[in-house]
Amino acid sequence: MRVRLKDIAADLNLSKMTISKVLRGQTDISEATKARVLKRVKELNYIPNLSASSLRTGETKTMGLILPSIGKRWLAEIAAGINRTVSAAGYSLIVCSSEEDAESEQRQVEILVSLQADALFIVSLQETSAFFDQMPKMRTTPIVFVSHMPAGTVESYVGVHEELVGWIAADHLAKSGCKRIAYLRGPRTAVGDLRANGYRRALNESGLVAHSDLVIETMSFDKDEYTRGREAMERLLSRRGRPDGVIAYTDLMAVGAMDEASRRGVRIPEEMRFAGCGDDALLCQMRIPLTSVDIGEHDLGQRAGRMALRAIGNSKDKGAQRVLVKPRLERRTSSEKAR
């Protein structure tokens, strides 16, 4: 049988209010009484009734996080950053996966709102804000979009300066001496397009040409990123005028391209230099350590957590906020200058 607050009160001959104050950490209770209550709470394995507590305080002390999947390292880093920040403030984080399905994401948003989560974090699959605009009840729940912001949204957002991701990688390879820099681009989404824009801008500023035949489409959902990287390199090496520098949308794609280039006798970095994106600790320390753009996922999560806490704590200022985190380059052997 579930132990209730009044059971502890009766057992210790104290009022329910006194027990509640101790559990909330209020300071107007004697140390001796606190010790008695906490000892008995532990002995009885008392679990607070969050629903009853939320009726009294207007808060459930929970937040919800919706991810497109749970198997990717960069998403796990975002989740860890959020959880570390909100748990330190006394909140529990409910993590859901939409399994790369936009309708599933919408259902999970509705469920978390119905559970009265105090704030929501969403790495969203929605391309526009239409779904969120049609849910007026959600206007009272702070929402922080992380990494991807649906077009037209008026909610808060923490993301990466995506154009700078492509620019940093291309600028680095250009300065290392590369003249023909290929790009294994990402999806035809806002993020993918911004990174491609950064790539082209860096080449233009370096006086280089962004040759169309050096930009390889790699989005084939029936194949993993490693295979797509290998196949993209096959295509590049089958053409006249092979590249001397290659940028990949992800680290795994870069590793696949590097392996295929090595298999075909290309010397790295002497003949071809590489840069990836994501700074995956495991992938970047392979046989040839990979230069990569670190997009700071853990930092994204922490900033998103702080943004939600501010929104909950400041009822007078519910305005949307925008934060862009600057990526940074981690240089390794794969892009060293030819000696």
Name the more confident of 29 and 333.
Answer: 333
Q: Which of 22-31, 55-64, 127-136, 294-303 has the highest mean pLDDT?
A: 294-303
| Candidate from 41-45, 173-177, 193-197, 329-333 with smallest mean pLDDT | 41-45
Listed by start position, the domains of the chain span 5-48, 60-161+297-325, 162-295+329-335
> What's the CATH fold of domain 60-161+297-325?
Rossmann fold (3.40.50)
**Of the candidates 194, 188, 182, 251, the residue with the CA atom closest to the CA atom of residue 220:** 188
Contacts of 121 (CB under 8 A, 6+ apart): 63, 64, 65, 66, 82, 143, 144, 145, 146, 304, 305, 308
Supply the pLDDT for residue 48: 65
State which fold the 162-295+329-335 domain adopts: Rossmann fold (3.40.50)
Q: Is 278 left (phi over 0), alpha (psi -120 to 50) or beta?
A: left
pLDDT at 254 over 50: yes
Residue 50 is predicted with a pLDDT of: 55
- Which range (24-33, 88-97, 178-187) has the least confidence? 24-33
Are the C-beta atoms of 284 and 332 separated by less than 8 Å?
A: yes
On the question of pLDDT at 5 being above 80, the answer is no
Confidence of residue 55 (pLDDT cuts 50, 70, 90): very low
pLDDT in tens, 202-217: 999 999 999 999 999 8
- 138 pLDDT band (50/70/90 cuts)? low
Residue 58 DSSP label = S
Quote the percentage of the chain above a pLDDT of 90.
59
What distances in angstroms separate CA 280 from CA 15, 167, 298, 331, one per listed residue?
54, 19, 12, 13
pLDDT at position 273 over 90: yes
162-295+329-335: same fold as 60-161+297-325? yes
Work out the average pLDDT over 235-241: 91
Q: Is the pLDDT of residue 49 over 70?
A: no
The arithmetic mean of pLDDT across residues 273-282, rounded, is 94
- CB neighbours of 328 closer than 8 A, spacing ≥ 6? 168, 293, 294, 296
Percent of the chain with pLDDT over 70: 91
pTM for the whole thing?
0.77
Max mean pLDDT among 96-105, 124-133, 145-154 falls in 96-105
Whether 136 has a pLDDT exceeding 80, the answer reads no
pLDDT tens-digit readout, 57-108: 556 789 999 999 988 889 999 999 999 999 999 899 999 999 999 999 999 9
Fold type of domain 5-48? 434 Repressor (Amino-terminal Domain) (1.10.260)
Asked whether 191 and 148 are in contact (CB, 8 A), the reply is yes
Q: Are 300 and 141 in contact (CB under 8 A)?
A: no
